Amino acid sequence: MFNDEEQKILSYFFTNTTEDVFALINLPEVVKGTLFARYSRSGKDLRSLFLSDFFNSQDNEFKNIVGDVKNIDNQLLAIKKAEEFYDRILGQFGDDSVAELGGCHIALENISNLATKFVEDSRIGINPLEKSSRYVYFNEKVNGKYNYYRDAEIMASKHSEDYVNAMDFLFDTYSELMGPMRDYFLKKLPNTENLSERAFDAVLRAKTCDTIRGLLPASTLTNVGLFGNGRAFEYLLTKMQASNLDEIKNLGNQTYTELNKVFPSFVKRSKGEFGQAIIDYLKTIKYPSVDGITKNKKRITLLHYDKDAEIKVLSKIYYLKSGLSLKDAIKIIKQMPVDEKKKLLGEYCGVRTNRRHKPFRAFENTDYTFELVGNFGAYRDLHRHRILTQERQLLTTHFGYDVPKDLILAGYDKKYKKALDNANKVYLDLTKISKEKAQYCVPFAYNLRWYVKFNLREAYHLLELRTIRQGHPDYRKMCQEMYRQILKVHPNLLEPMKFIDLKDYDFERLESEKQIDKQLQAIK
């Protein structure tokens, strides 16, 4: 894949030049972050992107930043010495929390979308950035084959041919609809004279991807970059070894091998007695296998909210302001007139001029639990909010799918449905092998069911962010409805929530791309 000269360059910045899992070394932190950001919206693998857009780019002074390319041996020797030093110091003074103070960037390439959700489920300590299905086309082939995961057990079963045919049919349909849907949106796109060529392409690409991504199955191979601390990686590795999916177990072994090159002291326990004890424990946890599926009457259901929310939130605000005991603050808030409560709340929130001005911790004293039914594509986007408590049921086809209105208007809904219905038939066959592995066959368009629990402070972050114009219409509608339901029960607490967008748009990314044009022009 890479010639000798390229491998020599890459060996200084990556822990290997040939495997799908590798860590980043010898790079400034800002370069690693920038590289991952570009990675999420590129069809290239990370090392190719690094060579083309960073190392060999004429637009920056990258080589002056990182210095002369040397051999990786010196770096590995330094890591070995550091490990010996770490073990010696930790033995005298340290504890587990020391491992939270060392971090690493690592790339996991050519893994399924099912595997990415497992890896990205870590709440604290690991920050993921995934190749976007909204901005990157997924119709490429490698050696004449589409990029989707082929589980060994499935491929050895009598359903292997049906599985391959169903996945190929999904990708064929995805590929066939790319051009026609782009042309359809081209005719609808307004004010093109004010768009740069870059923005013009980005708007059409995003709208096309948003519309047809429902055809992509959970087996679709993608890339994800992770930045995490040693303690978080250690626990992730043990969870991966306890998984029932072979893909995730193998991925865990590869991840351990590369992390062991960068900070071995922080991850070595995952392979030792300590790690094995956690793996054994996780394997004892059995989730009930439910065959009966109940259907929801509503897609968005507010199951729980606190009827004393105002008292709980406002009493904490008054507690800080007054210097009284919490018991006395609660008593005063219960007797306080509505106008004074609103004034107290407004003063605590301050003058919010944009959605990034977040309320403080008093808003964490009440929470909301929703049950959601939405497609896997929308779940993938909302899943990124790791402060939420959220868990999903297994991917199935039992809750059906919705057809994007533009596909219907363009006349391609029958083709879309045919591919999804065909995948459903194969999914039902694969459940006889394994309900977990059958998930690989489920396309993004199919609905799943999950619950989320979040406090009022997170509600401000989640709902204001995920209703902005450039968001995907599927999750925008879900968050708009969550906002409406909370507003019904707690209108006063949501009064400072000024940046909810309840409108619908034909081209969600249009204004955003115009703004990027202005920023790029300003930089020039």
Per-residue pLDDT tens over the stretch 508-522: 888 888 888 788 778
Residue 378 is classified by DSSP as H
Q: How many CB atoms neighbour CB 12 within 10 A? A: 19
- Cite the beta strand spans of 289-330 per DSSP E: 300-305
Q: Tell me how far apart the alpha carbons of residues 450 and 411 are, in angstroms, rounded to a whole number.
A: 32
Is a pLDDT exceeding 70 seen at residue 68? no
Residue 87 has what pLDDT?
62
How much is the pTM? Answer: 0.91
CA triple 379-380-382, angle to 5 deg: 60
Instruction: Tell me whether residue 48 is in a domain.
Output: yes
Tell me whether residue 323 is in a domain.
yes
Could you tell me what percent of the chain has a pLDDT over 90? 73
pLDDT of residue 350 exceeding 60, the answer is yes
List, in order, residues 6 or more apart from 43 with CB less than 8 Å away: 131, 136, 137, 140
Co-location of 120 and 233 in the same domain: yes
Residues 38 and 8 in one domain: yes
What is the rounded average pLDDT of the residues 481-490? 98
Sequence-separated contacts (24+) of 150-155 with Cβ below 8 Å: 150/219, 151/245, 151/246, 151/247, 151/437, 151/440, 152/246, 153/246, 153/433, 153/434, 153/437, 154/430, 154/433, 154/437, 154/440
Flag whether 418 is in a domain.
yes
Q: How confident is the model at residue 175 (pLDDT cuts 50, 70, 90)?
A: very high
- Shared domain for 116 and 164, answered yes or no, is no
Residue 84 lies in a domain: yes
Dihedral over Cα of 291, 293, 294, 298: its sign? positive
Answer whether residue 123 is part of any domain: yes
Burial grade of 134 (CB within 10 A; 0-12, 13-18, 19 or more): buried
Do 216 and 88 share a domain, yes or no?
A: no
Confidence check: pLDDT of 239 > 90: yes
Task: Identify the pLDDT of residue 394.
Answer: 95
Query: What total number of domains does the chain contain?
Result: 3
| Residue 357 scores a pLDDT above 90 | yes
The answer to whether the beta carbons of residues 467 and 476 sit under 8 Å apart is yes
pLDDT of residue 83: 61
Is residue 394, in this structure, part of any structural domain at all? no
> Measured between alpha carbons, how far is 502 from 252 in angstroms, rounded to an integer?
42
Helix residue spans in 158-263 (DSSP H)? 160-188, 197-212, 230-241, 246-262
Does residue 66 register a pLDDT over 70?
A: no
Range of the structural domain that residue 261 is part of:
4-132+221-284
Q: Name the token pair of 240.
A: 């991966």
Q: How confident is the model at residue 289 (pLDDT cuts 50, 70, 90)?
A: low
Q: Give residue-wise pLDDT tens across range 133-160.
A: 989 999 999 999 999 999 999 999 999 9
Residues 49, 187 within the same domain = no
